[in-house]
Structure 1
Amino acid sequence: MQQAAEKDHRTQQGFTLLEVLIALAIVAVALGAIISEVGRHVYNTAQLRDRTVAHWVAMNIIAEQQINNKWPSVSTKKGETTMGGQEWFWTLTVSETADDRVRRLDVTVDTRKDSDTPLSSLIAYLGRPAP
């Protein structure tokens, strides 16, 4: 009777190979999902940073037009500027409105030249300066 108890005790120690393999498979799937989510988070953070800086560039272009104190002619201008250690390409389109004393300013900004999908678009209206 004592030998049977000792034999059962020896065979019940530790995990079986199958249990270890199942545990490793679960850990591998969980780590894969975590790594995927971290990668997605890093990408989204970079996109948010780029969109924010592009919006700041667009706001600066509008501010330059406002402090220029000159009536802008109807036109499209392209340029580039550096902000946040990165080169930004912008397009400023000035158009007429129904009111002769107001111009519409459309600014688009992207990291690529001549992009069809800019990171930021901003519309502003500028009144004619007093004489």
Structure 2
Amino acid sequence: MTTWQRDKSGGFTLVEVLVAMTIVAVSLLAALRVAAQSTGHVDELRARLFAGWVAADRLAEHRARGDWLPLGVLTGTQRQGNIELGWREEVSATPNPDFRRVDVYVFASPRPAHFLAHVAGFVVNPAGDTP
């Protein structure tokens, strides 16, 4: 009868190699999943960046023109970075009658309930006289 003798060269067994390959495969799949999720978030971050620009532009435009906005809500759309974004401006009175608070909300056009950016600022009555 022949007997097998194990070679004492210090190599890995087949089971050890398979376990190591399984661990590497699971790790690579987890890394691939994280990478796929992060690329999905890039579109959201891009839209939020453009929405912030739209909100800041709306407020800066009113200040540059010296607009005295009526109290209430104004809505509209603006294209930024090839994305159509909707905006809503809420103009409210302040304790000082020569100032008005303007809250600008920017949202993706299909989902107006979910705003991407919000900027609050004040405009000054250019005439300086309270109506």
Q: Give TM-score scaled by structure 1 length.
A: 0.81
The worse-fitting range, judged by mean Cα deviation, of 110-119 and 92-101 is 110-119
**Distance in 2 separating the partners of 1:113 and 1:75:** 23
Q: Which residue of 1 aligns with 2:120?
A: 123
Post-superposition CA distance 1:95-124 (Å, at most 9, x none): 111111001101000113452230101110
The aligned length equals 126
2:66 maps to 1:96: no
2:66–2:124 CA contact under 8 A, matched in 1: no
The percentage of counterpart residues that share the same residue type is: 31
Number of the residue aligned with 1:49: 46
> What is the aligned partner in structure 2 of residue 21 from structure 1?
18
Structure holding more helix per residue = 1
Unaligned runs of 5+ in 1: none
Q: Output the CA distance in 2 between the equivalents of 1:94 and 1:82.
A: 22
* 5+ long unaligned stretches in structure 2: none
Q: Distance in 2 between matches of 1:58 and 1:68?
A: 16
Q: Following the alignment from structure 1 to structure 2, what is the Cα–Cα distance between the partners of residues 112 and 34? A: 33
Pick closer, same or farther for the CA change 1:113–1:44 going to 2, 3 Å.
closer
Equivalent of 1:107, from 80, 83, 104? Answer: 104
